Amino acid sequence: MASITLQNLVKQYGDGFPAVNDVSIDIEDGEFIILVGPSGCGKSTLLRMIVGLEDITSGDLLIDGKRVNEKAPRDRNLAMVFQNYALYPHLTVFENIAFPLRLAKGKHTDDEIRKLVTDAAKTLELTDHLERKPGNLSGGQRQRVAMGRAIVRQADAFLFDEPLSNLDAKLRGQMRSEISQMQRRLGVTSVYVTHDQTEAMTLGDRVAVLKKGVLQQIASPRELYEQPVNLFVAGFIGSPSMNFLPATLEGNVLKTAVGDIQVTEDKARAAAGKKVVLVGLRPEFFEDASLVEEHKKDLGSTFMAELTHTEWLGNEQYGYINFDPDPEVRELLNSLAAEMDADELRPQIVVTLDAASRIRGGRSAELWLDTRKMHIFDPETGDNLTRDAEAGAALTQEANTARAEEISEAREREASTAGQPA
């Protein structure tokens, strides 16, 4: 168990390209940190710098307060789970899990190794497969063997490099919850790299969003979702992603493609002086106006729009509205899409409607928009002009408290089960 501190870490390759640029993160003992971003954002490089497989160009890496920049991977006492599992094909499952123990010569007797491995296998439900070779295992089992190799030794921290990306969707969900529970039970500091935002949102105590090697924001999933620091984070977190609408401000009214939106005094003040701003609206801020209760209606605004088509998903449905931005804004939206690894961002608004809504594509309908949680972005810098840092910090603080509680609960449970005779 250890804390990990990243201080102004920089990774520069031979051609001078900074894959990781000035990243500073404080990872507390027992915390589950997710590194997320589009491909090529440097998240894997950062993880490999922590574990020691990549040299650090500049900056300091501290584990438990001690600088480890020059230490070899084997001296850092970290465990890593690789994307392709990196199991040794010539060894049985047992020997794969025992591998780190056997390397620490003289530290463990054969009996100890046997006990540690069978214990790890039991928690991972691998007991029946101990004598098999990795080649004969399914993807999920291989994944568990890789985890076994990590938990069998008393590593200071776990590092995961997209561990679930080779599994099918169903198994991924299952393994995700297993990893989450295991992390809580062991209370071990974990750093997890993924490009899947479901994994990021569900697993992380805090999520670090990276873009082109630069840390954009590190916060609890809820803070990222509700108080994103800039356009990139706002667009990257959430699925379907946030809609960005160009708007002009006149007094306290934002004029947009979906009608005029009345905004509060302080939001208007934040956006004042800009010719064009981008309004960030999450799909779930919209609703079929006919289904909104009267007392809620006044909290937002209603507008008429023609949906091109709708997609019914059972629990909800998505509707799509086209709008025609001026070329400048279109350019901005496209460059944003490119940054986020997406195809061309179509000038389209995605709205989430209640599954009971009768609105269909091709017809005009009245929609209601909840304007309370909307954000206003500066189209030039991408900054969020209406971010409430205090509210965001409170959300992250909340997550921290929850984590501490969960870990102590898990430890108590562990202690009470260990106390009982088996």
Q: Does 13 bind other proteins (CB under 8 A)?
A: no
Measured from the CB of residue 86, what is the shortest distance to other proteins in angstroms?
A: 4
Radius of gyration of the chain (CA): 25
Q: Does 283 bind other proteins (CB under 8 A)?
A: no
Q: Does 79 bind other proteins (CB under 8 A)?
A: yes
Q: Does 89 bind other proteins (CB under 8 A)?
A: yes
Is the preceding peptide bond at 18 cis, omega within 30 degrees of 0? no
Query: Which span sits near other proteins by CB under 8 A: 24-32, 73-81, 320-328, 403-411?
Result: 73-81
Q: Does 73 bind other proteins (CB under 8 A)?
A: yes
Measured from the CB of residue 13, what is the shortest distance to other proteins in angstroms?
A: 11
Query: Which span sits near other proteins by CB under 8 A: 51-59, 168-176, 283-291, 397-405?
Result: 51-59
Among 10, 62, 86, 340, binds other proteins (CB under 8 A): 86
Query: Which span sits near other proteins by CB under 8 A: 1-9, 84-92, 115-123, 271-279?
Result: 84-92
Closest alpha carbon to 97 in 163, 152, 179: 152
Closest alpha carbon to 20 in 3, 50, 85, 370: 50
Query: Which span sits near other proteins by CB under 8 A: 74-82, 178-186, 196-204, 319-327?
Result: 74-82
Measured from the CB of residue 76, what is the shortest distance to other proteins in angstroms?
A: 8
Using the minimum distance from each CB to other proteins, give the nearer residue, 98 or 233: 98
d(CA 255, CA 93): 63
Using the minimum distance from each CB to other proteins, give the nearer residue, 167 or 268: 167
User: Which two three-digit tokens encode residue 242?
Assistant: 């946030």
Measured from the CB of residue 210, what is the shortest distance to other proteins in angstroms?
A: 21
Q: Does 106 bind other proteins (CB under 8 A)?
A: no
Q: Which residues are CB-contacts of 377 (< 8 A; sequence separation ≥ 6)?
A: 230, 231, 234, 244, 277, 278, 279, 280, 383, 384, 385
Residues 182-201 that bind other proteins (CB under 8 A): none
User: Which residue has 């809580």 as its token pair?
Assistant: 184
Per-position b or e across 153-185, b if 16+ CB within 10 A of its CB: bebbbbbbbbbbeebeeeebeebbebbbebbbb
Q: Does 43 bind other proteins (CB under 8 A)?
A: no
Among 66, 67, 74, 360, binds other proteins (CB under 8 A): 74
Query: In terms of DSSP H, where are the helices of 152-262?
Result: 169-186, 197-203, 221-226, 231-236
Measured from the CB of residue 73, what is the shortest distance to other proteins in angstroms?
A: 4
Phi and psi torsions of 85, nearest 5°: 75, -35
- For 264, half-sphere exposure in the C-beta direction (CA atoms, 13 angstrom radius) is 12
Query: In terms of DSSP H, where are the helices of 64-168?
Result: 93-103, 110-123, 139-151
Amino acid of residue 117: V
d(CA 207, CA 368): 32
d(CA 340, CA 157): 30
Among 80, 242, 279, 349, binds other proteins (CB under 8 A): 80
Q: Does 51 bind other proteins (CB under 8 A)?
A: yes
Q: Does 104 bind other proteins (CB under 8 A)?
A: yes
Using the minimum distance from each CB to other proteins, give the nearer residue, 133 or 330: 133
> Binding residues for other proteins, per CB under 8 A?
51-53, 72-74, 78-80, 82-84, 86-90, 99-100, 103-104, 135, 149, 153
